[in-house]
Structure 1
């Protein structure tokens, strides 16, 4: 993917070495431009992020150089906020990218590496004299709960009297994970465009032969295509069929498609896919829809197109409710109230996306929970964040004898000081096969 092209919506795969350069440049910029403000907002002047190889804190992975695919032995990163900005230091046996080396493992001292390493953490804290020391423990966000039980115990023991200044870094960890640079948003725009192009290719006659191809065949085709392009999926792609004569079935209080996932695709079927890819340390999440034309048809039935319009309207209402300062629960309530006022039957279950597909930040409903989500639902919306605008509507189709379809859509959406913007453009019409 080209990040230097004037048009960020055009994608050309970058070699891995160039991707690593881009990611390391982004990390440097984030440490300089993003982290100081986040630490001030959360009132934390020393952040300790620690993890061991094979058991990395989710935050730790986002602070490591691109060539580090995991922690090495025990990796401890300390980020100190001062009047000069944030000093990133590594108390680690090996050099860690742009982090200042704050420990010489070859220096004299009693005990093994672990004893010396924790002693150096204590010395760093004593010199920094922080008011509040943030560590990654959280009851509401798995992303911010990465400090293991053992590492927490060892850290508290090492800090001694300084342990009384330890607080949860939940708000800081979530802020770090959810905040995007303009360059990252441009990259996500390109990646969402790429996802849209792959879906359009999958939902086409060269891939789908009615009466022969199964939904499962198409799902695996998408996964292989992403792999061949060098952008791996972060979950198994799925393809669902809805068909006249096979009504929706109830599951956990919600009506969902009932055609088997491995069924053969037939003319007149409505196809839906869910696809997410990973590149440059960022992720996407998209759901689009296609219709398999019957003989003599040139477009999807009017009833299905009306369902698409209803889904677009629910998207618009949700975007209008996505206001910085509101909590995820408040956005959900506002969107659902506006939809009910217009007679739209649907669900909103949108979520942040960035370093993780189901990212850190405000939860805006779940497909099986449309009232209120405690914890993550009470987190506020901030600018310079990216969301997967995910939702679905139920709509009767007269051409199917009034049978309801469940039309799900999911698109990338960036929220900045300039407002909300779809990433990669949203689907406006059914993809047509045949």
Structure 2
């Protein structure tokens, strides 16, 4: 396991393939048992990959090749990964030898015939496929492939079930080594933000918020990592209504800066928001009202993490956190989400910015241990030094939830960055 990011690409591949082996051998058997699925079928075509597919492919496979069919068979000895594909797929057992094909069949028909032969050998009780009305990550089986698969299965088609629970467990659960890597990735993100919000990047009175956002994206690229969304930097300013400062505005003394950035490497992602203050001439520290607003944001983080009890649904965590905040007079919103293979990952949503009463579908999923999250929220606090103007203090911080409770990935922001 590595504690340093970014790694050279070849080393990344070795780490990722080691994780994949460990996940298949140690995690997947239990997930399949819990879901009652003994054969999991994942299908993707080039340029139309199932979201699960990249998490099962070797690191040197950057996408599906032609049609790639993966079969994961639960046996008494664990899980046997098989591939019905034109090319070898890492440790997956080749379950299709074109030399066995009926010459009368076209290649596509021959591939589906090979799938059928593999299923006949496996004799599964329940066949899981990636179809879900709730989680986009678990809805990756295309209509075309679903139609062809069901036709190929013949009498086995009656045993097909939706694999939503299995997919979510596979995507949301983190190995200890993956959590260690996410600590390092969040540290890299925090260090990048600290530089972005410094005189090394910002010349007050000249640099725009948009300049800073593009600097972050370029910096990630130069470091050998990539963003999974366009970084954003926004300004709040005394005397200007919230949202009234354009993204291409020049940074001025007295501004409150906020960023939202996320990087990806090693097949994992981060999602981070932090805040900075531009000192006015003669100031040596931010106004006490802004310092207090950040402290209120930290308190809101405490209330959410205290409510994140394994077994509760996302909606139950949201309701408990909001009730605790209301009891303390904290005005804020919670919109936290899992983060791992994907930035907005599979698993329970704990609110959305426009759904503070609960999130239909994804909000009903249970919170589980060995998962990582973007603890995302905001508070609204009047600032006396700004004439009582309400400031929106938004925070987003990576956390891990394990049997030991919640831990922060790297460290959360407890003081405003100043420049």
Q: For this structure pair, what is the TM-score category when the shorter chain's length is used for normalisation?
A: over 0.9
Hey, which bits of structure 1, 4+ residues long, moved more than 4 A? none
Residue in structure 1 matched with residue 342 of structure 2 by the alignment: 356
Cα shift at 1:127: 1.8
2:203 is equivalent to residue 209 of structure 1 = yes
Cα shift at 1:13: 2.8
Q: 1 CA distance for matches of 2:116 and 2:143?
A: 19
Cα shift at 1:130: 1.2
SS in 1 for 2:41: strand
1:282 equivalent among 262, 268, 282: 268
2:97 is equivalent to residue 91 of structure 1 = no
Report matched runs for 1:179-194 at 5 Å. 179-194=173-188
Cα shift at 1:419: 1.0
Cα shift at 1:383: 0.7
Residue in structure 2 matched with residue 379 of structure 1 by the alignment: 365
Report matched runs for 1:234-249 at 5 Å. 234-248=228-242
SS in 2 for 1:47: strand
Cα shift at 1:415: 0.6
Cα shift at 1:178: 0.5
Residue in structure 1 matched with residue 140 of structure 2 by the alignment: 146
SS in 1 for 2:100: coil
Comparing 117-126 with 72-81, greater Cα deviation is found at 117-126
Cα shift at 1:51: 0.9
2:112 is equivalent to residue 118 of structure 1 = yes
> What do residues 132-190 of structure 1 show as CA deviations (whole Å, max 9, x unaligned)?
10000000111000000000000000111110110000110111000100000000000
Aligned length: 418
1:176 equivalent among 141, 164, 170: 170
Residue in structure 2 matched with residue 226 of structure 1 by the alignment: 220
Cα shift at 1:212: 0.6
Residue in structure 2 matched with residue 129 of structure 1 by the alignment: 123
2:10 is equivalent to residue 17 of structure 1 = yes
SS in 1 for 2:99: coil
Q: 1 CA distance for matches of 2:325 and 2:382?
A: 16
> What do residues 209-245 of structure 1 show as CA deviations (whole Å, max 9, x unaligned)?
1111100000001111111000100000000000000
Residue in structure 1 matched with residue 322 of structure 2 by the alignment: 336
2:99 is equivalent to residue 106 of structure 1 = yes
Q: 1 CA distance for matches of 2:330 and 2:6?
A: 40
TM-score by length of 2: 0.99
Residue in structure 2 matched with residue 65 of structure 1 by the alignment: 58
SS in 2 for 1:58: coil
Residue in structure 1 matched with residue 252 of structure 2 by the alignment: 266
- Go from structure 1 to structure 2 and tell me whether the alpha carbon gap of 1:384 and 1:242 turns closer, same or farther (over 3 Å shift): same
Cα shift at 1:369: 1.2
Cα shift at 1:106: 2.3
Aligned-residue CA RMSD in angstroms? Answer: 0.8
Cα shift at 1:123: 1.5
Residue in structure 2 matched with residue 347 of structure 1 by the alignment: 333
2:161 is equivalent to residue 167 of structure 1 = yes
Residue in structure 1 matched with residue 286 of structure 2 by the alignment: 300
1:158 equivalent among 149, 152, 155: 152
Structure 1, unpaired ranges of 5+: 249-256
Q: 2 CA distance for matches of 1:88 and 1:376?
A: 29
SS in 2 for 1:125: helix
SS in 2 for 1:106: helix
TM-score by length of 1: 0.95
CA contact (8 A) 2:6 2:265 kept: no
Q: 2 CA distance for matches of 1:294 and 1:62?
A: 48
Cα shift at 1:12: 4.7
Report matched runs for 1:3-14 at 5 Å. 3-4=1-2, 8=3, 11-14=4-7
Q: 1 CA distance for matches of 2:152 and 2:272?
A: 46
Q: 1 CA distance for matches of 2:101 and 2:210?
A: 61
SS in 2 for 1:70: coil
SS in 2 for 1:219: helix
- Go from structure 1 to structure 2 and tell me whether the alpha carbon gap of 1:207 and 1:321 turns closer, same or farther (over 3 Å shift): same
Structure 2, unpaired ranges of 5+: none
